[in-house]
Structure 1
Amino acid sequence: MTNALGKNEIIVYHRASNGKLKLRQRIATGGGGSGIQLDPGDSLGSQGSLLLDSRSGRLFAVNTETRSNNPLDGQDVGDCQQGTISSFQVNRYGQLNLVDRIPSGGLFPNSLTVDRNLLYVLNAGGPGLNPFCGVGPNITGFKVSQSGNIRRFFNATMPIDPGTSPGNFLDCDPGNAPFSTEEFRCGLNPPAFPRSPAQIGFTPDKQKLVVTVKGTNTIYVFPLSRNGRPTSPSLTQVGNPFQPTPFGFAFAKTYDSSKSYLLVTEPFGATSTIPAPSASAVSSFEIGNDGALTTITQSLPNGQTTSCWIAIAPSGKYAYVSNNGGSTISSYQIGSDGSLTLLASVAAQANKPNDLAIVYEDGKSFLYVLNSGDGTVGAYQIGNDGSLTSLGSVGGLPSDDGAQGLAAY
């Protein structure tokens, strides 16, 4: 996804049997993206902004509908623009057809999750400078037809508390940028990406929704009623009110166990500095029936900077993390009990990587990464030992200009 301000687009690539990519199609979402915002390498501050349901052949994309890409320009008009969701049908050749675009139920939508006909979006923005703009950060549910048409799911919205930044976050990186108090107040629209809600996802059993919230360092687990509506969440604070910060997550169903485990990236490390150089980590948890989290591995460091996105190999043995600030990819090994071991601090080189996707076909697994720094998609073959072999990259995305969102099958 280009995530371009004013005209968001999806770029489609064809994947050959050897994993290499070839540009196939460009298609507009009908809405506008966020543009650069505070960081051209991570302008949405989220994982899961582009979502593929390969079983039904549907693709979903968020449009933040941002009117200005400069949060310091004082234009209140941008604060009130509600986001939208676009849906596409994917034909047998991988080409897209735009089906629908509807309001997201909030401001600055940045993450999506789907199960059959039930779609949920995370709206990360809040009223911002104008208290009359509308609702604050929330999750909102929708019903989706087989053809991809979307309608609002009545009474399926729950609020998210974005928190307020502690004093030591008001000037987070004085050496690199003149960040202001206004920028790092949580709940703005656009929100402050280092502290905003980051991802929403169904648990593997489809009985719960998980949401990571950076501003309070909290993981929400919403049990779902029988009809799929969220109920009061269980809240688990990771570490302490300051750090580490939960960002992206994925579920690993281990290769010799019927259980599944929640793996969460922690991009800023145990420090008051955002971002903390060479201080990222990954934790793993087991989710109880009541939604409570039990820590298995706590904050296992990888020595890299801003580890935000994560993907699990089809074998369930390996996890890959993109390190946006360090332009690298790290790898972890997943034990049968959900425990983690650092496999390689630098498993591969990249260029300001953000979103990741993994596919499996004919006995081969491939990892793809959106390189926001140069507007390419990098391809890697995953070895049986978890190692990565580069297959090169292909262009077509904006270079260092806010591209984010990746899905593959």
Structure 2
Amino acid sequence: MSTFNLKKLFSYTAVLSTLLPGSAIANQPPRGAVYTMTNATNANKVLVYNRDAQGRLGAPQRYDTGGKGTGTSLGNQNALVLDQANRCLYAVNAGSNQISSFLVKADGLLLADKINSGGSRPVSVSVNRNLLYVLNAGGTVGNSDNISGFIVDKNCKMLPLADSTRPLSAANTAPAQVQFTPDGQRLIVTEKSTNKISTYSVLPSGRVTGPRVFVSAGTTPFGFAFGKRDQLLVSEAAAGAANGGTVSSYLVKPNGDLQLITSSLATTETATCWVVVSNDGRFAYVTNTGSESISGLRVSFGGNLSLLTAGGRTGLTGSGTTPIDLSLSNDGLNLYSLDNTRGTVAVFRVNLVTGQLVKLQTIAGLPAGANGIAAR
């Protein structure tokens, strides 16, 4: 065999070794990771699952948050979030009124800080650059719901921002989520029991003004996510009414006003709660906690919504499951759904062209009451 042909053979062999099952690829660093937390009452822990090139998950590593959970559902979205650079991970400790932060390492996590949340029963966090806000769902007389701000440094340490705590539209609102708009200029909060959506304007100091309060298009506004061009997509659980789940879309105006685009599109499923949007803004996915399913949505250029799948069932999470939190991997190729009743994570492959889902795997072993999911 000529020298040229030998070189070609060695080259082909090297390529094949990265593609064949059981080859050298198994020894390469993980493609990314998925994070969730136990929300346990004695000691809350974050679980880290390395994911392979297909998005499948391995066995978890466990890291103490230093705080406590509640052991029960928090009725929330964004209990566990990564910052934009995937350097810091933030987790709520709803049972001890604290927030924990971790440095994200190639081989796991390193606890960086733990701090009081600025209120009672933190359920959701959002971070934009060096600014973090916590949503506290106090829900008791004299300990009302609020949002509270923190400055974070490059080592994921948190410092309370003086005079940053602001009330919601009322006390006892059963709030579900707080999140910065993509430009960092506003904060949005959903309130389940009042059927309100509140917006706050972020000042250069990091403090906020507001709230500006808007009536939700549908009943029980829950989770939300942002699309392109200032679009806001909000799930509506309809108080858990059978087959009553809906999703609405809004335009977020520069002054914080919300302009309705699509009003309460029916998923035909039950308890539509958590929302994520694809990287290109063309698709959205919502979990239907009472229907063991995920609904996919098409999002038009102008923010109009339509069902991706007739009947509203784009993905099935499994018999007896109650899917709650959702997260997309950074590349948008995998969707992860947490079930906090049977203690599982369902793994789906996303078709980037059609938006359809193919189930790849179910990971078991999480405790009942687990909460929050984030992926990179």
Match of 1:392 in 2: 361
User: What is the CA-CA distance between 1:339 and the residue it aligns to?
Assistant: 0.5
- 1 CA distance for matches of 2:109 and 2:300? 38
Match of 1:125 in 2: 138
Counterpart pick for 1:265 among 215, 235, 258? 235
2:169·2:213 contact (CA, 8 Å) conserved in 1? no
SS at 1:125 equivalent: coil
**Partner letter of residue 2 of structure 1?**
T
Match of 1:248 in 2: 223
1:233·1:291 contact (CA, 8 Å) conserved in 2? no
The alignment of Structure 1 onto Structure 2 pairs a total of residues equal to: 334
User: What is the CA-CA distance between 1:201 and the residue it aligns to?
Assistant: 0.3
Larger Rg: 2
% identical aligned pairs: 41
- 1:191-340 to structure 2, matched below 5 A, reads 196-239=174-217, 244-253=219-228, 259-268=229-238, 274-340=239-305
1:142·1:151 contact (CA, 8 Å) conserved in 2? yes
- 2 CA distance for matches of 1:54 and 1:291? 23
- 2 CA distance for matches of 1:203 and 1:346? 29
Match of 2:126 in 1: 113
Matched, 1:368 2:346: no
Question: Scaled by the length of structure 2, what TM-score is found?
Answer: 0.86
Shift in CA distance, 403/162, structure 1 to aligned 2, threshold 3 Å:
farther
- 1:56-71 to structure 2, matched below 5 A, reads 57-65=87-95
Matched, 1:44 2:74: yes
Deviations 1:267-293 (A, max 9, x none): 11xxxxx32010000000001111111
- 2 CA distance for matches of 1:360 and 1:85? 24
1:313·1:365 contact (CA, 8 Å) conserved in 2? no
User: What is the CA-CA distance between 1:217 and the residue it aligns to?
Assistant: 0.8
User: What is the CA-CA distance between 1:360 and the residue it aligns to?
Assistant: 3.9
**Partner letter of residue 64 of structure 1?**
A
Question: Scaled by the length of structure 1, what TM-score is found?
Answer: 0.79
Name which structure has the greater RCO, CA cutoff 8 Å, separation 6+: 1
- 1 CA distance for matches of 2:39 and 2:220? 24
- 1 CA distance for matches of 2:60 and 2:195? 40
**Partner letter of residue 260 of structure 2?**
T
User: What is the CA-CA distance between 1:162 and the residue it aligns to?
Assistant: 4.2
SS at 1:204 equivalent: coil
1:3·1:63 contact (CA, 8 Å) conserved in 2? yes
User: What is the CA-CA distance between 1:54 and the residue it aligns to?
Assistant: 4.8
User: What is the CA-CA distance between 1:56 and the residue it aligns to?
Assistant: 5.1
Matched, 1:139 2:147: yes
User: What is the CA-CA distance between 1:16 and the residue it aligns to?
Assistant: 0.3
Match of 2:106 in 1: 92
For structure 1, the 5+ residue unaligned runs are 37-42, 66-81, 164-186, 188-194, 254-258, 269-273
Deviations 1:226-275 (A, max 9, x none): 12210122211114xxx51211000011xxxxx1300000011xxxxx32
User: What is the CA-CA distance between 1:53 and the residue it aligns to?
Assistant: 1.4
Match of 1:352 in 2: 322
**Partner letter of residue 296 of structure 1?**
I
1:314·1:365 contact (CA, 8 Å) conserved in 2? no
- 2 CA distance for matches of 1:213 and 1:126? 12
For structure 2, the 5+ residue unaligned runs are 1-36
- 2 CA distance for matches of 1:24 and 1:31? 19
User: Following TM superposition, where does structure 1 have runs of at least 4 consecutive aligned residues deviating by more than 4 angstroms?
Assistant: none
**Partner letter of residue 324 of structure 1?**
T
Deviations 1:75-96 (A, max 9, x none): xxxxxxx610001011123x01
1:56·1:146 contact (CA, 8 Å) conserved in 2? no
2:330·2:375 contact (CA, 8 Å) conserved in 1? no
- 2 CA distance for matches of 1:88 and 1:235? 34
User: What is the CA-CA distance between 1:117 and the residue it aligns to?
Assistant: 1.0
Shift in CA distance, 236/54, structure 1 to aligned 2, threshold 3 Å:
closer
